[in-house]
Amino acid sequence: MKITDITLWVVPLTSHETYYMAGGKTCDTVDSVILRIDTDKGLAGWGEVCPIPHYLAAYAKGVIPAIAEMAPVLIGSDPIGPEAVMHRLDAHLIGHRYAKSAIDIALWDLTAKAANLPLYALLGGRQTKDMPLYHSITCVAPEDMARMAKEAYATGIRQFQVKLGADNNWEADIARLTLVREAVGSGALVYGDWNNSGTQLDCSRVARTVSHLDIMLEAPCPTMEECAAVKSASGLPMKMDELAHDTASLLQAHRMGIMDAVALKLSKFGGLSVTRRARDLCMHLGARMCIEDTWGSDITTSALLHLAAATAPRNLLNTCDLSGYVGPRIDENAPTRQNGRIAPPSGVGLGVSPNIEVLGQQAATFH
């Protein structure tokens, strides 16, 4: 089997609610790049990457030029065995993990289709029927956030990510955590997320004030040293996200005692191949994992759900239905949340069938 064509589309995804985060980050309408790899055997693999502006070292307008640079290596290659192909791409173009993520997902889709198997069968085998979801709550007025949490709780959600710091008001952040904790009651998981944009002083004041509550902290400050100081000041468990992006950073966070949990995002690591290795390392280190991606619709959501389904439940903290936060849906038949949980797609490969009409005009093709 040989790769013959690579086709790209750019699809604007609009959040159902504007998403406010610390550090002036917002997520309203962002471009998702959709990729299809075609072969001479008639099989096609789908990939997707959707960078959020000002969030990580990634931007949507950089995806197509990066793929154009890698296309000559891909065209004519055998797609079966994604890690071998990705090794050649890494040698050809250093970095640009986010662009490579879409390619890697499509290669795994193709490999699973060639094997006539669902993707999770190649990622370790299905270990659970469905997985718990978390619900992310945009950083707005504390009372509104409590209402959103209560509404999500009524649908079966039991894990809540509370965005903090968008207004640089540490006292309001205390109210956000306190009111959400009250709204969902005991037992549910509540964690406050600064997206690594808080100051050590403000985050420590918030953390110490809510330390009597059952709260987890997520990504409070720009450096691991500051995060460690915040954890030391409060004694609360901590989840890593943006600062944990490769083997070295995972090991460092573990050594510093600040990785009780960690977010493994496909495009942050560079696709399923690298994220799978990160998952296996985290299982060894004992960190609970949120398996997700930065943003996107049904293709990347399906990819992360396959990896989550192939992860031992005791190691999986939660996963995310990114496609449930945005529109349009690229595949209306793709999985949706049910009673706070979600299952991977059925069928071979990723199990998604993108609607070409929704994708619109092609942005680029390579032969």
Compute the distance between CA of residue 48 and CA of residue 197 in angstroms, rounded to an integer. 27
Q: What is the CA radius of gyration of the chain?
A: 20
Q: Which residues are catalytic?
A: 163, 265
Tokens read off for 237: 């468990």
Please report, as a single letter, which amino acid is at residue 244.
Answer: A
Q: Return the number of other C-beta atoms located less than 10 Å from residue 217's C-beta.
A: 27
The dihedral through the CA atoms of 348, 354, 355, 361 has a sign that is: negative
Compute the distance between CA of residue 189 and CA of residue 295 in angstroms, rounded to an integer. 22
Tokens read off for 86: 């990705």
* Closest of 35, 17, 37 to residue 27, by C-alpha: 17
Q: Return the number of other C-beta atoms located less than 10 Å from residue 356's C-beta.
A: 11
Residue labelled with tokens 């960078």: 51
